[in-house]
Structure 1
Amino acid sequence: MTMNCLTRVTLAAALSLSALGAQAAEVEWRLSHWLPATHPIQPQGIEPWAESIKEASGGRINITIFPAQQLGAAPDHYDMARDGIADVTYVNPGYQAGRFPIASLIEIPFQVTNATDGAAAMHEWYAQYAEKEMPDVKVCMMNPHDPGAFHSKTPIHVPADVSGMNVRPANATIARFVSLLGGSSVQVSAPEAREALSKGVADAMTFPWNSVYLFGIDQILHQHLDMPFYASLQTLLISKASYEALPDDLKTVIDDHCTPEWSKTFSTGWADWEAAGRQKMIDSPDHTLYEPTDDEIALWREAAAPLLDSWKKDVTAKGYDADAIYQSYMDTLEKYGVKY
């Protein structure tokens, strides 16, 4: 009788623990991004970040990931966080030209040498301005890709070669650069780029190296300018309503996962993966990489110079001190050892 009683008690306790373990998390968040689930930013950036939050919160916060524009189009992801369509969104600010002029400074060529310490520097710098420029959301992380290059159907060696070309630019700043060079911009998101190129709507694009393979663009573009000259910024944003609804201890968990150190960690896997694509092309007989001479690099730098003047004009028009913001960015890049 005692044994039966003990057995019933043990069984009841086991069932109770099982039920507790099966309970839903206290907070269920949805994270939306527009890249395919196979893109390295998901397994090497987003998933480890979400898992770390789950662990740090003792399982109280669970984040479900929705890739490939399942919840909305790529250019809409800022507004999706603002409006609570998703709790966390992955945003390319450059997809909406002119909306975030301070952040667009990051997109100007010849400023940052890598995407890892560069991400930490960008995070520290932009934290001064995030509440002013993106007041509707909580800016959590900065995520530049490994510096990208020109990829084209016909060779591009000097700025004059872009004249007359239709180019899919990485962001609004590069679109402006293409226009300065006499080319025309084909404004499509990364997932739509292959179709534009295959249909002849675009002749070239700016892109990081291994993503050329990921999106199947290596089958269309075989000429590559071997010069890492620009970075495209992505940000991880959190709905303010979702964040404010958290108890204080869980807000602390989120705050601890929205730091310059996390921006670097979040960016490292993708940066390493992209860099490997360049060597893959070097080893391939199907691709030609052209390394510009010092004189040709000087031509590219000269051609890009008006972008900074234009950026200062745009930022000043919004009521900001453009010179002070620019100097702050340069100082922060230098502090992290990533100034071009």
Structure 2
Amino acid sequence: MKHFKTLLAAAAVTLAGLPATAQELVKIGTFVPEQSVGVARVIKPWMEAVSAETDSVQLQGFWGGTLGKSPFKQFELVQNGVMDVSWVLPSYTAGQFPEMGVFELPFLFRTAEEASIVGWKLHEQGLLTGFDGVHVIGFFAAEPNALFMKTKVDDLSGLGNMKIRAVGGIHASWLESLGAASETLSSAEMNEALNRGTLDGAVQGWTGMRTFKSLPLVDQAHAVPAGAIPFLLLMNQSKWDALPAEAQDKIMMHGGMAMAEMGGGAYTAVGEEIRAGVVDEGRIEIVEYSEEQLAQWTEAAQGVHQAWIEATPNGQAVYDAAVAALTELRGSM
């Protein structure tokens, strides 16, 4: 009996030294640095909120391309399980997310909140496709792009024969409708081309211009809502399926609509802060457009909208749902 009690005591000591539950490591990778808005103001706060409510997963960040540097390979890397979670830019994954082009249509969305909230609603309605092998944790968008110019023009009518960087095909179509020659480049390639003087301007958001240190390379900004850049936070499907239900609940409690609202608000706030700093500095000329002028350029862009609708399977349904959600959202604000 004495020997049995000794064994029980030893076993108790051993068990006391073990964690109550084994944590599942979740590797979260981005190609952008830790100080970027998406990481610092959206992904890391999401990680902290989830970690505060569950001990069953350990969320670990790998920033700045540690798990894969190419922005064009992020979806492939998470789909194949090289990283468990990745921040994916749909416009860098040609053909994978056809309906995502609706967010890039110029003059449709006026704020990051609008694009982010409408984006999650479209996902909930099952109108966004391309998620084979992944689970969608969240959808958010940057503040609508502006047009940043190294070569100054009076307004959009002056872009004829200019070389302008586009993020994807939608931006390229819009620029070409204005007579510009579009070039689809990453932010790093854009900087190099602006620095060499082989590029006249670029479609980009204020936050992106600061993140990639592009502001010193331009002399003018046209304040037009030239489409929003949508972002996805995706988890490898097999990894998602292996997580405890309790962890899944916490991940999505702070993902989904909560992430859309947080992400949209973060990008709006930071975008306004950056723009205010540019105004104070006074070096970059900011060209403002009146509501009447914006209405005229919106009408001129309708051909780009219609072309996207016709070229996209289920494009009309997606576009109509986006407009309906946008109208409802603006009516409630």
SS at match of 1:154: coil
- Aligned counterpart, 2:265: 268
- Aligned counterpart, 2:6: none
1:338, CA displacement in angstroms? Answer: 7.7
How many angstroms apart in 2 are the aligned matches of 1:130 and 1:87? 24
The code of the aligned residue for 1:177 comes to: W
Q: Does residue 1:146 correspond to 2:146, yes or no?
A: no
How many angstroms apart in 2 are the aligned matches of 1:191 and 1:24? 44
Count of residue correspondences: 322
TM-score of the aligned structures, taking structure 1 as reference length: 0.85
Structure 1 residues 94-103 or 143-152, which shifts more?
94-103
Query: 4+ residue stretches of structure 1 with deviation over 4 A?
Result: none
Percent identity of paired positions between Structure 1 and Structure 2: 21
SS at match of 1:337: helix
How many angstroms apart in 2 are the aligned matches of 1:69 and 1:203? 29
* Superposition pairs of residues 1-340 of structure 1, within 5 angstroms: 20=18, 26-58=23-55, 60-72=56-68, 73-129=70-126, 132-294=129-291, 296-316=293-313, 320=314, 322-337=315-330
Indicate how the Cα distance of structure 1 residues 207 and 139 shifts in structure 2: closer, same or farther if over 3 A, else same: same
Indicate how the Cα distance of structure 1 residues 249 and 134 shifts in structure 2: closer, same or farther if over 3 A, else same: same
SS at match of 2:265: helix
Deviations 1:3-39 (A, max 9, x none): xxxxxx9xx97x986x556x99611111111222221
- Aligned counterpart, 1:3: none
1:314, CA displacement in angstroms? Answer: 1.8
1:92, CA displacement in angstroms? Answer: 0.9
Q: CA RMSD in A?
A: 2.6
1:269, CA displacement in angstroms? Answer: 2.1
SS at match of 2:297: helix
1:251, CA displacement in angstroms? Answer: 2.3
How many angstroms apart in 1 are the aligned matches of 2:189 and 2:124? 31
How many angstroms apart in 2 are the aligned matches of 1:77 and 1:141? 15
- Aligned counterpart, 1:4: none
The answer (yes or no) to whether the contact 1:210–1:278 under 8 Å persists in 2 is: no
How many angstroms apart in 1 are the aligned matches of 2:291 and 2:52? 50
The code of the aligned residue for 1:96 comes to: T
Indicate how the Cα distance of structure 1 residues 46 and 190 shifts in structure 2: closer, same or farther if over 3 A, else same: same
Indicate how the Cα distance of structure 1 residues 298 and 66 shifts in structure 2: closer, same or farther if over 3 A, else same: same
1:91, CA displacement in angstroms? Answer: 0.9
Indicate how the Cα distance of structure 1 residues 236 and 66 shifts in structure 2: closer, same or farther if over 3 A, else same: same
SS at match of 1:283: helix
1:295, CA displacement in angstroms? Answer: 5.3
1:88, CA displacement in angstroms? Answer: 0.7
- Aligned counterpart, 1:5: none
How many angstroms apart in 2 are the aligned matches of 1:131 and 1:233? 12
TM-score of the aligned structures, taking structure 2 as reference length: 0.87
The answer (yes or no) to whether the contact 1:123–1:259 under 8 Å persists in 2 is: yes
**Structure 2 residue runs without a partner (length 5+):** 1-8
